[in-house]
Amino acid sequence: MSSARPPEPGEAPLFAIRLTVPAAAAQAFADALEGFAAAVSAFETAPGGDWKIEGIGPEPDRGRLGMSLALAAVAAGIAEPPVTVEALPQVNWLAENRRSFKPLSAGRFLVHPSHDRPTAPGRIALCIDAGEAFGSGEHETTRGCLLALDALGKRWPRGRGVARRGRGGRALDMGCGTGILSLAMALPWRSPVLGIDLAPEAVRVARDNARINSAGTLLRAAHADGFRTRLVKGRQFDLVAANILQRPLVAMAPALARHLRRGGWAILSGFYVDQAQAVIAAHRARGLALERRIVVGAWCAVMMRRK
SS3 sequence of the chain: CCCECCCCCCCCCCEEEEEEECHHHHHHHHHHHCCCCCEEEEEECCCCCCEEEEEEECCCCHHHHHHHHHHHHHHHCCCCCCEEEEECCCECHHHHHHHHCCCEEECCEEEECCCCCCCCCCCEEEECCCCCCCCCCCCHHHHHHHHHHHHHHHHCCCCCCCCCCHHHCCEEEECCCCCHHHHHHHHHHCCCEEEEECCHHHHHHHHHHHHHCCCCCCEEEEECCHHHCCCCCCCCEEEEEEECCHHHHHHHHHHHHHHEEEEEEEEEEEEEHHHHHHHHHHHHCCCEEEEEEEEECCEEEEEEEEC
| Residue 9 C-alpha from the chain's centroid | 31
- Residue 147's pLDDT is what? 96
What's the whole-number mean pLDDT along residues 71-81? Answer: 95
Summarised one tens digit per residue, pLDDT across range 186-223 is 998 888 999 999 888 889 889 999 999 999 899 999 99
- Residue 4's pLDDT is what? 33
61 pLDDT above the threshold of 90? yes
- Residue 138's pLDDT is what? 55
The rounded distance, in Å, linking the Cα atoms of 107 and 113 is 18
Average pLDDT, the chain: 84
Strand partners, 304: 266, 290
40 pLDDT above the threshold of 90? no
φ, ψ (nearest 5 deg) of residue 179: 90, 10
- Please answer whether residues 52 and 124 qualify as being in contact, where contact means their C-beta atoms are separated by less than 8 angstroms: no
Question: Full-prediction pTM beyond 0.85?
Answer: no
136 pLDDT above the threshold of 60? no
Nearest 5°: CA angle at 175, between 111 and 159? 60
Rg (CA), the chain: 20
Summarised one tens digit per residue, pLDDT across range 221-237 is 999 888 988 999 889 99
Domains of the chain and CATH, by start: 15-91 (3.30.70), 138-306 (3.40.50.150)
Summarised one tens digit per residue, pLDDT across range 140-195 is 899 999 999 999 987 765 555 554 443 335 899 999 988 999 999 999 888 899 99
φ, ψ (nearest 5 deg) of residue 17: -110, 120
Lowest mean pLDDT among 120-129, 205-214, 272-281, 286-295: 120-129
